[in-house]
Chain A
Amino acid sequence: MNETVIQFGPARSLVGIVTAPPQAERDPECPAVVLLNAGLLHRVGPNRIYVQLARALAQDGFTVLRFDFSGLGDSRPRADHLPYAQSAPLEAREAMDWLAQHHGAQRFLLIGHCAGAAFALLVAREDPRVVGAALINLEGGDAQWTEFDRIKKVSQQNARNYGQHAIFSRERWAKLLSGRADYGSITRVVLKDILWYRIVGFSFRASHVLAARRPAVQAEQAARAQQYLGPIIERGAALLLLHSEGSTGLEQIRAQLGGELERLIAAGKLELTVIAQSDHLFTLVARQRQLCAVLQAWAQAHFGARSSHLLSASSVE
């Protein structure tokens, strides 16, 4: 395995690291992997997971490029002020172009976390060179869902802080009973941040469950699944949704795709893996290792040297 720094794009303004298997172990049939920035985090990824992942995939024979979109990490901002929503997919394609030109890659796997997952999905939909996409904790960015995610986190954190942590704390009981506690603050947190937010969250979920029973909504869900996933699935590309347990992103996907999600999973068109007892950023080292292992197994199963599910070159032309 070796790692090299590259600068690419029309202005050589994009900075990336290519992690490649030893020369003798390179397989030209093996797709190259591109890792897309997780939100505003630079190319090492959350908790440096992208570095771990790139090295692990390179050990398995994949050439991996992780790079920074313009204005992130070490890549310079664009001089043309192209909006990020347009420049990021364009630059993901430029990353593939670079790998095609310098490593002879013709097929690609895109892997992204959070916003990187959204861009991976967009590019996979439009670029037939993409034969697989792994979307880690994909979230929609819709304002209502963002607010739902916020109140869910606030109510849960406060419930834990004021619940199990307080109940077993002698110090906090002493403060409460001696009149030194801020009763106004406690009341506000319990009534608003815990109880009210739970009610709001429950209503939000219930409204989606009820709506999903309406045929018109089901038709919208089917159309949405076709719009976002159809082009990828129809050309036989592999698609993996990978979520942390309790992820709001997964709730949103379920609400937006409805029964289509389960149908696609049952038909083997889409895989869904949930990493139990994890958070959005995979803070725990054991979960980081689990995440890498899942992605390695997925890549190996679909595209590894021993795979029986290799896409033919003609299917991506």
Chain B
Amino acid sequence: MAATAATEQIEPFFFGPPGRQLFGCYHEPQVWPAREQGVVLCYPFGQEYIRSHRACHHLIAQIARAGFPALRFDYYGTGDSQGEDADAHLAQWQSDLGLAVAELRARSGVDRVILAGLRLGASLALSASARTADLAGLVLWEPVVNGQRYLDELRAQHEQALLRFFAQPKDHALGSRPGELCGFALGEGQLAALEGLDLRTAQAPRGKPVLLIESQTTPDLTALHEQLQSGALVTYEHVPSFTVWVEDVDKGLVPQPVIEAITGWLDKVFA
């Protein structure tokens, strides 16, 4: 019998060393025999994480229904993991991702791992791919290519949010290097890491299948596509849909066409 959302097995747990406990959810593969590759999902950051959590859950659940053991997890200083917002640090999340990959392998028994990510999570997945042993492939869902432009986007969203206050905050000014954006404190380390983020210097995993998928074509994504083609086996897909990470959570939206496209690609490439 096919698993449904009401019957599928999810195992939530903490993992990682004391003092850096991370929250993860393991989704058992829902068909047998299971695939030989597992999937680790890297969430977006900050408000984008909050708004896309439901979509990420749906994506990983569908991937598990396609037979892949799958894990999604919160980086240190995010979600249910230990640490405060201001402790979040992109560079240190690489080691968190390493812990998550090890956890997936331990739970599922697979060696080969596909890193998947949305927005800043996709940037992290690409950056970490070179140091991930037995990498099977990459799924990059609308990655953040340029950190400075990403910060500018967040600043514009933050300023829009301020316009919606019924009483304007008199004691708040962002400054040139903001200490918070869109509801989340930004530590100095995270801010510097984001300012320095430029995926156009990242190395593509040579000879590995990569899915670059988006719903809004930008010059940054086009440039990234060209760069990745030099080494990896890239599939580029534009799937018309909404950008769930900026939508109001209470709309309960899930970008099913994108989820179907990602699962379909995994199904085909790792048949």
Contacts and interface: CB of A to CB of B under 8 A. Distances in A.
A285 B169 CA distance: 12
A46 B5 CA distance: 25
B54 A42 contact: yes
Contacts of A72: 54
Interface string B77-99: 01110101100000000000000
A301 interface: no
A277 interface: yes
A269 interface: no
Interface residues of A, number: 47
Interface in A6-52: 7, 13, 15, 17, 39-44, 46-48, 51-52
Given A7-B12, A42-B53, A77 B166 contact: no
B76 interface: no
A132 B25 CA distance: 32
B166 A246 contact: yes
A46 B50 contact: yes
B64 to A, nearest CB: 13
Given A41-B50, A44-B79, A74 B25 contact: yes
A8 B234 CA distance: 43
A283 B182 contact: yes
A40 B6 contact: no
B250 interface: yes
B171 A277 contact: yes
A157 B164 contact: yes
Interface string B11-54: 01110000001010100000000000000000000010010011
A157 B78 CA distance: 30
Interface residues on B, range: 35 or more
B130 interface: no
B22 to A, nearest CB: 11
A34 B33 CA distance: 41
A285 B180 contact: yes
Nearest to A76: B6
Interface in B131-186: 158, 161-172, 179-180, 182-185
Nearest to B184: A47
A199 interface: no
A3 B14 contact: yes
A218 interface: no
A265 interface: no
B13 A279 contact: no
A161 interface: yes
A226 interface: no
A47 B10 contact: no
A36 B116 CA distance: 31
B109 interface: no
Nearest to A71: B5
A78 B168 contact: no
A244 interface: yes
B257 interface: no
A294 interface: no
B218 to A, nearest CB: 24
B12 A277 contact: no
Interface in A146-191: 152-153, 156-157, 160-161
A281 interface: yes
A272 to B, nearest CB: 16
Given A41-B50, A245-B166, A15 B12 contact: yes
Contacts of B6: 13, 76-79
A74 B12 contact: yes
A72 B164 CA distance: 26
A15 B23 CA distance: 12
A76 B161 contact: no
A286 interface: yes
B50 A47 contact: yes
A277 B167 contact: yes
Nearest to B167: A245
Given A15-B12, A51-B80, A46 B166 contact: no
B50 A44 contact: yes
Nearest to B165: A279
B79 A277 contact: no
A160 B160 CA distance: 10
Interface in A244-265: 244-247
Nearest to A75: B10
Q: Most chain-B Cβ atoms within 10 A of its Cβ — which of A76, A156, A278, A286? A: A76
28 contacts: A3-B21, A5-B80, A15-B12, A40-B252, A41-B249, A44-B79, A44-B80, A46-B183, A47-B183, A48-B184, A76-B8, A76-B10, A79-B7, A156-B164, A157-B163, A161-B163, A244-B166, A277-B165, A277-B172, A279-B165, A279-B166, A283-B162, A284-B180, A285-B180, A285-B183, A285-B185, A286-B171, A288-B183
Interface of B: 5-8, 10, 12-14, 21, 23, 25, 47, 50, 53-54, 57, 78-80, 82, 84-85, 158, 161-172, 179-180, 182-185, 249-250, 252
Given A76-B8, A276-B167, A284-B169, 20 more contacts: A3-B80, A5-B14, A5-B23, A5-B80, A39-B250, A40-B249, A41-B249, A42-B54, A48-B184, A52-B84, A73-B53, A73-B57, A74-B57, A76-B5, A79-B6, A79-B7, A156-B164, A160-B163, A245-B167, A286-B171
Q: Which 3 A-B pairs have the closest CB atoms?
A: A246-B166, A47-B183, A277-B169
